[in-house]
């Protein structure tokens, strides 16, 4: 529950203020639950969706009742006696945001006045008039919102994308559920209208190279046909950011949500979505630098093996309950590992869509089964190799052509000739 302001006889008037975000947001979202075709707007009172009507910009949403979304039965009725006693209004944190007019007109000036603007602060204001037939205490609130407004370089035609987005022009920003877009904004930073960094890593734009980020964004946006015949973007996510936490925590959440890699290399932050990458070069045994480190292991030890992936995601269809996604496993892989299920249990609480959770889990399962590791030392063209890129190789150490992801690349010098030692894992 947020901060409460009370006044009047026996403190019968109460306003509850909930800060939602320190940056502008896109508004309140709608959702549906399983077995119910009704749309619910994202205002939950005491844990249940509220029904309401929008009146005007001053009062906002007047709430009539809450309902159980599964049984469709009323839980609380807020229309007792002489009319509406409960309403909620939202302020989305935009630059031109003014003081809440209802608050200025109705709350004692000693507690609220016209200077209380909340610029760049998205918040909700709920008013309750105490009626013992309605309220046994102050209600609690939860809000399902359309997230922060974000810059998407893939929609900026001035930097290699396509569209009207422009960095620093908040009027062009949009809500996004693309984990690569969210990660880009965390990496570059969320700024207020004065140019102050509100949250994020604060990378300079040249240290977020778009020849990595735009393909990752586009791969996440690619529409995939789900089992029920509907289409959805390949990877999506959403989560709340605590600005007291390190940005790396949320970059790792985005990395999980895109089933890929977000990694720092030579002072730059690079992104790869969890899709097949094009190898940047191919090699054979003849490309090795003789006498340098050239190692290969075909299989991980039992302590590092996984053959089954489980996970729980946040189901909007179950009114935001955490539910188990069907496990991703292979009978053949379990048999190859001695008949023992070796489980990777994933936290997918940033995911609200079951098929998306399944895609992430399957990509993770396949990554676990690509067990080979390889270290090679090359001269050209490996000198420009970056962490996260893929290479393809043939060798007497394995059958056919294997693809590898670079997990480490260091410069070494042998007889004054520069080369690069590349550590890889199979893909």
Beta strands in 117-240 (DSSP E): 122-129, 141-143, 149-150, 174-175, 190-191, 197-199, 223-225, 231-233
252 shares a domain with 128 = no
Q: What is the mean pLDDT of residues 335-358?
A: 95
Residue 270 falls inside a structural domain = no
Number of domains observed in the structure of the chain: 4
Residue 268 falls inside a structural domain = no
- CA 313/CA 326 separation, integer angstroms: 11
Q: For strands 373-378 and 417-426, give the pairing.
A: antiparallel
356 shares a domain with 317 = yes
319 shares a domain with 241 = no
pTM of the model: 0.90
Of the candidates 366, 387, 405, which is a domain's last residue? 366
Q: Provide the pLDDT confidence category of residue 81 given band limits of 50, 70 and 90.
A: low
Residue 269 falls inside a structural domain = no
- What integer pLDDT is reported at residue 416 of this predicted model? 43
Residue 271 falls inside a structural domain = no
> Are the C-beta atoms of residues 410 and 421 closer than 8 Å to each other?
yes
Residue 354 falls inside a structural domain = yes
400 shares a domain with 312 = no
- What integer pLDDT is reported at residue 382 of this predicted model? 66
Tell me which of 301 and 149 has the higher pLDDT. 149
Q: How many residues does the chain have?
A: 427
> Are the C-beta atoms of residues 82 and 113 closer than 8 Å to each other?
no
Tell me which of 178 and 56 has the higher pLDDT. 178
- Which DSSP helix (H) or strand (E) runs through 369? helix 354-369
Q: Which of 1-5, 8-12, 59-63, 290-294 tops mean pLDDT?
A: 59-63
Tell me: the pLDDT tens digits for 176-203?
Answer: 999 999 999 999 999 988 889 999 999 9
User: What Rg value do the Cα atoms of the chain yield, rounded?
Assistant: 27
Residue 309 falls inside a structural domain = yes
- CA 43/CA 50 separation, integer angstroms: 6
Q: Provide the pLDDT confidence category of residue 418 given band limits of 50, 70 and 90.
A: low
Tell me: the pLDDT tens digits for 219-228?
Answer: 999 999 998 9
309 shares a domain with 211 = no
- What integer pLDDT is reported at residue 1 of this predicted model? 45
- What integer pLDDT is reported at residue 288 of this predicted model? 80
Tokens describing residue 320: 């935001």
Q: Tell me which residue of 375, 373, 383 sits closest to 413, measured CA to CA.
A: 383
Q: What is the mean pLDDT of residues 103-128?
A: 89
Of the candidates 143, 164, 181, which is a domain's last residue? 143
> Are the C-beta atoms of residues 345 and 322 closer than 8 Å to each other?
no
82 shares a domain with 27 = yes
- CA 351/CA 235 separation, integer angstroms: 9
Tell me which of 249 and 65 has the higher pLDDT. 249
Q: What is the DSSP string of 210-228?
A: HHHHHHHHHHHH-EEE-TT
116 shares a domain with 8 = yes
126 shares a domain with 163 = no
Q: Cβ–Cβ contacts within 10 Å for residue 88, how many?
A: 23
56 shares a domain with 31 = yes
- Is the pLDDT confidence value at 123 over 90? yes
Residue 65 falls inside a structural domain = yes
Per-residue DSSP letter, 416: T
Of the candidates 109, 143, 177, which is a domain's last residue? 143
181 shares a domain with 137 = no
Per-residue DSSP letter, 164: B
58 shares a domain with 94 = yes
Residue 264 falls inside a structural domain = no
Q: Provide the pLDDT confidence category of residue 419 given band limits of 50, 70 and 90.
A: low
Q: 301-312: string of b/e by CB count within 10 Å (b at 16+)?
A: eeeebbbbbbbb
- Is the pLDDT confidence value at 365 over 50? yes
157 shares a domain with 136 = no
Q: Is 183 helix (H, G, I), strand (E, B) or coil?
A: helix
- What integer pLDDT is reported at residue 333 of this predicted model? 94
Q: Which domain holds residue 401?
A: 282-298+372-426
Measured CA distances, 307 to 327, 338, 373 (Å): 11, 11, 18
What is the 3-state composition of the chain as percent helix, strand, coil, each rounded to the nearest 5? 20, 35, 45
């Amino acid at each position: 529950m947020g901060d409460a302001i009370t006044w009047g006889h026996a403190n019968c008037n109460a306003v509850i203020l909930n800060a939602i975000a320190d940056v502008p947001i896109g508004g309140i979202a709608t959702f549906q639950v399983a077995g119910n075709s009704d749309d619910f707007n994202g205002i939950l009172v005491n844990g249940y969706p509220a029904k309401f009507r929008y009146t005007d910009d001053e009062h906002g949403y007047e709430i009539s009742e809450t309902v159980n979304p599964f049984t469709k039965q009323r839980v609380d009725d807020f229309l007792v006696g002489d009319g509406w006693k409960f309403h909620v209004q939202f302020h989305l944190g935009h630059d031109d945001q003014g003081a809440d007019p209802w608050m200025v007109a109705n709350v004692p000036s000693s507690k609220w006045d016209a200077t209380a603007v909340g610029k760049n602060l998205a918040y909700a204001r709920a008013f309750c008039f105490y009626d013992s037939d309605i309220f046994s205490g102050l209600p609690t609130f939860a809000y399902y919102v359309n997230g922060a407004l974000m810059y998407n370089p893939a929609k900026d035609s001035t930097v290699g994308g396509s569209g009207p987005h422009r960095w620093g022009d908040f009027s062009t920003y949009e809500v996004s559920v693309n984990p690569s877009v969210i990660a880009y904004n965390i990496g570059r930073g969320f700024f207020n209208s004065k140019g102050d960094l509100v949250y994020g890593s604060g990378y300079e734009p040249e240290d977020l190279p778009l020849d990595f980020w735009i393909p990752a964004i586009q791969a996440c946006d690619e529409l995939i046909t789900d089992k029920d015949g509907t289409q959805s973007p390949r990877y999506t996510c959403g989560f709340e950011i605590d600005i007291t936490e390190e940005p790396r925590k949320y970059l790792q959440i985005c990395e999980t949500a895109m089933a890929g890699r977000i990694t720092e290399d030579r002072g730059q932050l690079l992104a790869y979505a969890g899709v097949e990458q094009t190898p940047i070069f191919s090699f054979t045994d003849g490309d090795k630098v003789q006498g340098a480190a050239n190692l290969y292991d075909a299989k991980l030890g039992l302590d590092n093996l996984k053959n089954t992936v489980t996970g729980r995601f946040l189901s909007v269809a179950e009114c935001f309950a955490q539910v188990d996604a069907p496990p991703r496993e292979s009978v053949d892989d379990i048999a190859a590992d001695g008949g023992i299920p070796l489980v990777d249990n994933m936290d997918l609480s940033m995911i609200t869509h079951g098929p998306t959770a399944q895609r992430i889990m399957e990509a993770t399962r396949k990554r676990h089964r690509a067990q080979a590791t390889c270290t090679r030392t090359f001269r050209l063209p490996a000198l420009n190799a970056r962490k996260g890129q893929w290479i393809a190789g043939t060798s007497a150490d394995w059958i056919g052509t294997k693809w590898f992801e670079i997990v480490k690349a260091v410069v070494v010098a042998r007889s004054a000739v520069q080369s690069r030692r590349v550590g890889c894992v199979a893909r």
